A and B are shown apart, each in its own frame.
Chain A
């Protein structure tokens, strides 16, 4: 069986700077994976290459065996690649429930046009219960009919993650989910991600600076340094690794 995500010797330069320089890794089985590394290690660029915001100069990316590195953002999304943004993006004018339902919607243009003519509501109604259940899990059920723009930053972050999950992705990329979140909500987020993983058994790939958060959340850590994967393994091994400590202090 092919790996859920396979990044093979991928590279990307900006002018003379090699931001990602031959990074390779395989996420073969479902799990919560952490991606860490000192500033400038190429985490963000790697993240952008995986979700299609940037295109790689060389190398290949496969999602469940399908090569995706030439595809545009929306095509990758339709194959089951969901992401959240570091700056946290939700549809501020839509209600929380509509944010989640929109994420589940079939966005193929032809199907949308057919729906406009047939006035069918099947897809939306079939996920409505699941959407409400997920909103319940993050304590946003009572805001279901409120515009997402009225939520606090932390609540938006949770809504963003729930919206990413509703479309049943194979891979959910989280870009610094803990940034800008207060300690109480951080615990909620931590437990929520563990719970979601237990339920869905998908790949969660989390880029994170908050070491305490990621080490207790992830079962497997990838360390990037100078555009490559320097080390990977369980948190305990990574925390004890001389090379990793040198990369961070060096």
Chain B
């Protein structure tokens, strides 16, 4: 008997969450593994943010790290000045990034695809210049060091201390799972179906009653806000904000994470983040080498796996299943 996909989803979700929370056990709590995994989760959040645009709506943004930077700097400034605690600070960073997203989106989203890409690139570079030059606010090129970590969180049955690697890993996992659920809720909803229609054919979507601009602006703002959340989390984890964390190379890296991982799939950006962040030795040897790899990988993917790595995994899984079913059918007859 085959379980229907709809029924299997909550089970897969719970297993995925349990796997993430229990993953540190596999590495016996090794601080280096925890560091790599936590950073991966931060980038997976950024990847999901871009995936909502690039993978599901078909809008390519080359400046998304700028929105992550807005979230990061707002969180860092609030935390450093002791204005607010962790949750309100990172919430403020998320909202700030969303607001910047709306302000950028209103003029830019009216542009046709390739002009939109160029303008997002310019916005990313502009935000980078602001991070790099507003010394009084962002600390300029030196950045903002010494951002305090959140204090211990009392859960009743346990205390999670984010100042310890394992504690922060649990915080990051929780935030990541929240973002993942948001991604799922959007994709499998009427809103997500309208976005998919816009990606496939804007003219058709409009003629069916979709307000294309309003839909694009909403998902753009939401995506910017999620990027801000990811940026804020990352800065809380690394405890220092630096402009180059949100520069053009990081934008390229993020696009790579989404496309190589598998744009337009729920797990694609997570897989991409795992590959590009948790395996830094393999892929982050040097910036220039990464660029060479970027070109070569994109070429190879465009030729052989337009669905990204997750697409490859998924089609292999489906082949295996159809193979299984033919074998069982043969057995029955």
A residues at B contact (CB < 8 Å): 51, 72-74, 77-78, 82-83, 85, 89-94, 98, 102-103, 105-107, 109, 111-113, 115-117, 119, 123, 163, 167
Contacts and interface: CB of A to CB of B under 8 A. Distances in A.
B200 interface: yes
The 10 residue pairs across chains A and B that have the minimum distance between CB atoms: A116-B189, A77-B209, A112-B191, A89-B204, A73-B206, A107-B209, A112-B190, A115-B190, A78-B209, A74-B211
B193 interface: yes
Contact of B208 (A77, A115, A123): A77
Nearest to B182: A116
Contacts of A89: 201, 203-204, 207
B210 A91 contact: no
A107 B194 contact: yes
Contact of A85 (B194, B196, B197, B204): B204
A37 B189 CA distance: 44
Nearest to B218: A109
B195 to A, nearest CB: 9
A13 B124 CA distance: 41
A74 B190 contact: no
B215 interface: yes
A83 B206 CA distance: 11
Given A74-B212, A117-B185, A112 B194 contact: yes
A73 B207 contact: yes
Nearest to B215: A109
A46 B194 CA distance: 28
Contact of A103 (B192, B196, B208): B208
A243 B218 CA distance: 53
Contacts of A73: 206-207
B174 to A, nearest CB: 20
B214 interface: yes
B191 A91 contact: no
B187 to A, nearest CB: 9
A91 B196 contact: yes
B321 to A, nearest CB: 16
Nearest to A111: B190
9 contacts: A73-B207, A85-B204, A85-B207, A98-B193, A112-B189, A112-B194, A115-B189, A116-B192, A163-B208
Contacts of B210: 74, 107
Contact of A74 (B193, B200, B209, B218): B209
A115 B208 CA distance: 18
A86 to B, nearest CB: 12
A74 B194 CA distance: 12
B186 interface: yes
A83 B193 contact: no
A106 B190 contact: yes
Nearest to A118: B189
Contacts of B215: 109
A115 B191 CA distance: 8
A74 B55 CA distance: 24
B38 to A, nearest CB: 29
Nearest to B203: A89
Given A77-B209, A78-B209, A109 B191 contact: yes
Interface string B201-234: 1011011111110110010000000000000000
Nearest to A73: B206
A183 to B, nearest CB: 27
Contacts of A72: 206, 211
A116 B185 contact: yes
A51 B204 CA distance: 12
A134 B77 CA distance: 59
A109 B211 contact: yes
A227 B28 CA distance: 79
Contacts of A85: 203-204, 207
A102 B193 contact: yes
Interface string B18-62: 000000000000000000000000000000000000000000000
B190 A105 contact: yes
